[in-house]
A and B are shown apart, each in its own frame.
Chain A
Amino acid sequence: MKKLLAVTLLGAALTATAAQARDNDTVRIGLNVPYEPMEYKTASGELTGFDVELGNALCQQASMNCQWNEQAWDSLIPSLKSRKIDAIMSAMTINDERRKQLLFSEPYLVQPSAWFAPADSAITATSPEALKGKRIGVQRGTLQDNYVTDEYADANIKRYATADDIVIDIESGRLDLAFLDYPIGKTTMLDQEDKQFKTVGEMVSEPKKYFGDGFGIAFRQRDTTLAEKFNAALDELKENGTYDQLVIKYFGEAALEAAKP
């Protein structure tokens, strides 16, 4: 009986190490879908987008085995810290608040935030006074959420789990404005032929306290080697032109200069 127990325990220990070894080879990258065009799924269910294509290229360049792991936006950072994933590449803006918790790669894309409204909206100004009492939709836990919560205390702020829910509600007239990363609003609202939307006011990328330094890949603070691998791969992709191709593919030729951090 004792022997049997010992054998079973040994077996369990062996499988446990085997499982751990597998985990160490694969870099599990967390992301939140849909966030078109940064990350979304094609009609056939295939995961794609700027982050996904760039991420795959980076992993290939650094000869790493990567695996995408879809999650709710607000569980990404806790998952990273509790080692359920090893990196976050999900249009996450680098800012000081997040730097306290995470280690970031060099920024790989800079995009402003923007206000979106239905085309027939009468709203023209976006100052906190002008938007008093207006219904503003943001994605919960994003820097847009933090900015609006702190600066637009008199507005009626509605927090959604995904960016798509915001589009649905602004379409049905439940929101006056949506405050999103510009490329996401552009793809999900401005570029849709059957929907009538416009941007209101200026693009927003200040103050840096909220809007930070562009999108970065997030790691646990101790994983410096992993971050360096990604940084090196990013430099190589920028040199060999792969990076430029991807920016042009997703944001057009004109965006190339603005997008580069």
Chain B
Amino acid sequence: MSVEQLLQTIAGYLNGNDIFTVNTLGMYWDGFVNTVQLVFISLLIGLALAVPLAIGRGSPLKLVSKSIWLYTYIFRGTPLLIQLYLAYYGFAFVPGIQDSWLWFFVQDPLYPALFAFTLNTAAYTTEIFHGAIKSTAKGEIEAARAFGMSKAMMMRRIILPSAFRRALPAYGNEVIFMLHASAIASVVTIMDLTGAAYYVYSRFYAPFPAFIFVAFIYMALSFSIQGFFRHLEKRLLVHLKPNNR
């Protein structure tokens, strides 16, 4: 079935409905794509940043650990909305930026939003992983030392694998939190799910249909993320489950 036909079938179902027309549903769909894209990319980069940062956060070098602490402190201590405003409206007025290659990234709302979201989720994820690394059982470390492992090998083979497993439930929460936090992207003109709902709301003055519909989409997204993490936990945390044979 071609897209055209699909749209016609949908239009048939929507006959007589003022608010949910093919147009507004298209808007919701674009919003869905934008939200998923924004959240997925920022989580991916945030995760990649958080692993080395979490290791560095526990470094014996004061300069390294303190500066990473300062970074997470700032990003966890201020509202994401403020960070987004600074990234979007702030950078645009740095002198000379409009003529530099950076302007390509600043002029589009997507990149400043990605920047703010990524640094924010990286800060939270760093603290989650750091907590998990710190709580590694002493016995495991002693055993690794007794085997003569170097620090790097111990980190790679013993500490990180078990820390990631322990961090998994908390990280799953962070992913869902990020999905919900992304609802503010519409203040910098990104047409995300909430932006689409805002549009329908202000065009038809119908807050209930516009926002309840979008709430269901967010809920479906949250449930699928939860399902994914539950599946992961089932596989990876099997050794922590009560043994009821």
Chain A residues whose C-beta falls within 8 Å of the C-beta of B205 in the assembled complex: 77-78, 81, 101
Chain B contacts for A145, CB-based, 8 A: 202-203
Task: Tell me the bound Cα distance from A145 to B207 in angstroms.
Answer: 18
Contact A161 B203 (CB under 8 A): no
Bin the interface of chain A by size: 20 to 34
Q: Is the CB of B189 within 8 A of A158?
A: yes
Could you tell me the distance between the alpha carbons of A174 and B89 in the complex, rounded to whole angstroms?
10
Partner of A174, one of B107, B191, B203: B107
- Contact in complex: B107, A74 (CB < 8 Å): no
A141 CB contacts on chain B under 8 angstroms: 199, 201-203
Q: How far is the CB of A151 from chain B (nearest CB, A)?
A: 13
User: How many Å lie between the Cα of A73 and that of B207 in the bound state?
Assistant: 14
Decide if B229 is an interface residue (CB 8 Å cutoff).
no
Q: Are B93 and A172 in contact (CB under 8 A)?
A: yes
Chain B positions 99-158 with a Cβ under 8 Å from a chain A Cβ: 103, 107, 109
Enumerate chain B residues within 8 angstroms of A161, measured Cβ to Cβ: 187
Flag B193-212 by CB within 8 Å of A: 1 or 0 each: 00100110111010100000
How far in angstroms is the closest Cβ of chain B from A43?
21
Q: When the two chains form their complex, are residues A173 and B89 in contact, meaning their CB atoms are under 8 A apart?
A: no
Are B187 and A172 neighbours in the complex by a CB distance under 8 Å? no
Contact, CB under 8 Å: A160 / B189:
yes
Measured between beta carbons, the chain A residues less than 8 angstroms from B109 are 158, 174
A13-44 interface mask toward B, CB cutoff 8 Å, 1 = contact, 0 = none?
A: 00000000000000000000000000000000
* Contact of B98 with A by CB under 8 A: yes
The CA-CA distance from A242 to B211 in the complex, in Å, is 44
B92 touches A (CB below 8 Å):
yes
Q: Say yes or no for A125: interface residue by CB 8 A criterion.
A: no
Residues 156-175 of A contacting B (Cβ, < 8 Å): 158-161, 168-169, 172-174
A74 touches B198 (CB 8 A): yes
Instruction: Give the distance in Å from the alpha carbon of A140 to the alpha carbon of B201 in the complex.
Output: 10
Residues of chain A at the chain B interface (Cβ within 8 Å):
73-74, 77-78, 81, 101, 140-141, 145-146, 149, 158-161, 168-169, 172-174
Closest 5 A-B residue pairs measured CB to CB? Answer: A141-B202, A74-B202, A172-B92, A158-B189, A77-B205
Besides the known contacts A149-B203, A160-B189, 20 further A-B residue pairs in the complex with CB atoms under 8 A apart: A73-B202, A74-B198, A74-B201, A74-B202, A78-B201, A78-B207, A140-B198, A140-B199, A140-B202, A141-B201, A141-B203, A146-B203, A158-B109, A158-B189, A159-B195, A159-B199, A168-B89, A172-B92, A172-B107, A174-B107
